[in-house]
Amino acid sequence: MVEHRYAEVNGLRLHIAEEGEGPLVVLLHGFPECWYSWRHQFGPLAAAGYRVVAPDQRGFGRSDRPEAVDAYTMLDLVGDVIGLIHALGEETAVVVGHDWGAPVAWHTALLRPDVVRAVAGLSVPPTPRGGDMPPLRAMSELYDGRFYWNYFAQPGVADAEFAADPTSTFRRFLYGASGDNPANDPVPAQPLVPPGHGFLDLVGEPEKLPAWLTEEDVATFVAEYGSQGFTGGLNWYRNLDLNWRLTAPWNGATLQVPGLYITGDRDVVHAFPGVSDLVPALPQIYPTLREPVVLPGCGHWTQQERPQEVNAALLDFLRETAPARV
């Protein structure tokens, strides 16, 4: 049974959900999500002999939301993961992330291979830093300021749009980027926000939710966000250029621990520049990475859309990299 409590980490109060005993597995959610995104993983992983912990990362759900925009850099987020592992009384963990949680997981493994036994990322692959231009500027020049990162980075704009009707926001977000949305078959379009429009205009209000998502699930996400809104999570996007500068010392560094990448072939991330070429090359770029697991017909919400396949892949990976004593 999933239990809830708080952990003091780096001066913040982070809400965590946990179940099971054994080697620690930390599950990191994305945007706009929270611990509940891993609802299908707790039971199976705990039953297999693992201690499963999913925090609401800083700025999300029931966790603290620092006011300063620059309190959400990648170094802060990696610091939270390391601090949480130690606050839980553990020295090492397997770290798994989805969406924004994936780059946090990849960077945690990159920066602290002494703490991360193995790493898995869902949807977002490990990406070489590279380039000679910060990402927000690069995407703005490439798409005339219409790429959704640039829209999210505008102070207060997406914050107000998403908070106006949170139920509609979650229904549109979760359906819109799913493999069940016909617009994502066979290849999702670039998420470009036309001038004078909002991000949610990119997908209409679904008449019916896909089978993997219930109205109760949507209500739970709305309740977990409460009255705190979306600004904390959007601040992650506002630090993309700062992250690019802060991670310069690790340019060219590679993973030192076993890695696993799981994705769906209808994930909008594959429409991002360079990703379609990157994914097949991952084992060459990162030799410790297994061959990517690509789920046909799956969209962006990997572990929610395809829990059985994701759980099977994760358990196979965990048995190899962090065997449990059951």
| SS3 (DSSP) at 126 | coil
Model pLDDT, residue 227 = 85
Active-site pick, 56, 64, 99, 267: 99
Evaluate whether 263 touches 122 at the Cβ level (below 8 Å).
Answer: yes
pLDDT digits (tens, 9 = 90+) for 229-238: 999 999 999 9
pLDDT > 90: percent of the chain = 94
Model pLDDT, residue 186 = 87
Model pLDDT, residue 160 = 97
Model pLDDT, residue 1 = 93
The residue with greater pLDDT, 326 or 9, is 9
Please check the confidence at residue 129 and state whether its pLDDT lies above 90. no
Mean pLDDT, rounded, for 296-315: 98
pLDDT digits (tens, 9 = 90+) for 23-73: 999 999 999 999 999 999 999 999 999 999 999 999 999 999 999 999 999
217 is annotated as an active-site residue = no
Please check the confidence at residue 14 and state whether its pLDDT lies above 80. yes
Please check the confidence at residue 220 and state whether its pLDDT lies above 90. yes
Evaluate whether 267 touches 298 at the Cβ level (below 8 Å).
Answer: yes
241 is annotated as an active-site residue = no
Distance of alpha carbon 324 from alpha carbon 309, whole angstroms:
20
Mean pLDDT, rounded, for 175-181: 97
Distance of CA 88 to the CA centre of its chain: 21
- Cis preceding linkage at 186, omega within 30: yes
* Token code pair at residue 93: 């963990």
| Average pLDDT for the chain | 96
Model pLDDT, residue 187 = 81
Domains of the chain: 3-321 (3.40.50.1820)
pLDDT band at 130 (very low <50, low <70, confident <90, very high): confident
Model pLDDT, residue 326 = 65
Model pLDDT, residue 149 = 98
φ, ψ for residue 275, nearest 5 deg: -70, -40
Distance of alpha carbon 86 from alpha carbon 10, whole angstroms:
11
Active-site pick, 15, 29, 107, 300: 300
Mean pLDDT, rounded, for 188-208: 93
Please check the confidence at residue 226 and state whether its pLDDT lies above 90. no
pLDDT > 70: percent of the chain = 100
pTM recorded for the entire structure = 0.98
pLDDT digits (tens, 9 = 90+) for 59-84: 999 999 999 999 999 999 999 999 99
Distance of alpha carbon 138 from alpha carbon 212, whole angstroms:
35
pLDDT digits (tens, 9 = 90+) for 245-282: 999 999 999 999 999 999 999 999 999 999 989 999 99
* Token code pair at residue 222: 């709305």
Model pLDDT, residue 75 = 98
Model pLDDT, residue 320 = 96
Three-class HEC string of 13-41: EEEEEEECCCCEEEEECCCCCCHHHHCCC
Model pLDDT, residue 204 = 86
Model pLDDT, residue 192 = 97
* Token code pair at residue 240: 């993309």
